Amino acid sequence: MRQDQISLQLYTVREETARDMPGTLRRISEIGYPAVEFAGYGDLSPQDLKSIIDDLGIRASGAHVPFDSWETDPESVITDMHTLDCAHAILPIAPPEYCRDEAVVAGLAESLNRWGELCRQESVTFSYHNHDFEFAPLDGTTMWDVLVRETDPGLVHFELDLYWVRYGGADPEPLLSDLGDRIPLVHLKDMASDDTRSDLPVGEGIMPWTSLLEAADAARVQWYVAEQDNPRDALEDVRTSLQSMRNLTSG
């Protein structure tokens, strides 16, 4: 991981962006993040946001785009990616009704392949972001294994959330090794050592960062994205994560 590969998922500061998107982006830039991953655009257009991040000198490493947008108007999603000069479009979560059995998940994979093909035609990389439920038992397999098996490696990639993989009872390191260049992005948050296993800023928990980042580097991950679902003080927590990530960088 290099310092210029660090980004922040803006869901972490969702309360701040809801109040003041331009001001929050400015604060994130001042804290030192070179890039952000969008989680919606608030009341602003992609054109407005591109102008703001250009003025701040930060990049759009990726964007989380909800299932309904992919299902109803994937072409507009891709247009927004071009507007933001954003190479990575990510489905952040699948609706529960698409996760209930192996056949339904295989149907979801067909949709992912279709959207991935549309993205590929426009030089955008399409990825699926995991949580923990993908690793739960499902008809003798797991949702994760079905998605990996039924999606086209040239069309569908994965944003591997290392915390959620471990929370779901799996080991992220073999996934990084096995899937190689299908993982262009990873999410980084730490895990509490107590029974809550709650998410923490990077560096404050028990995630084995040295070995995880070695595996991610070997897989040639492009972006290392800090995220917290439940920050205590969001702006302070993202500052802590950035400092820890900088301490872990190779240059």
Using DSSP, state whether 93 is helix, strand or coil: coil
What are the backbone dihedrals phi and psi of residue 48, each rounded to the nearest 5 degrees, phi first? Answer: -60, -45
Q: What are the pLDDT digits (tens) for 83-131? A: 999 999 999 999 999 999 999 999 999 999 999 999 999 999 999 999 9
Q: Which two tokens stand for residue 41?
A: 């655009």
Alpha carbons 233 and 231: distance in angstroms, whole number: 6
CATH number for the domain harbouring residue 79 = 3.20.20.150
What type of residue sits at position 154?
G
Q: How many domains does one find in the chain?
A: 1
Q: Residue 51: CB partners within 8 Å, gap ≥ 6?
A: none
- CA-based Rg of the chain, rounded to a whole angstrom? 17
Closest CA to 216 of 192, 191, 169, 181: 181
Domain range enclosing 196:
3-248
Q: What are the pLDDT digits (tens) for 185-219? A: 999 999 999 999 999 999 999 999 999 999 999 99
Q: What 8-state DSSP symbol labels residue 181?
A: G
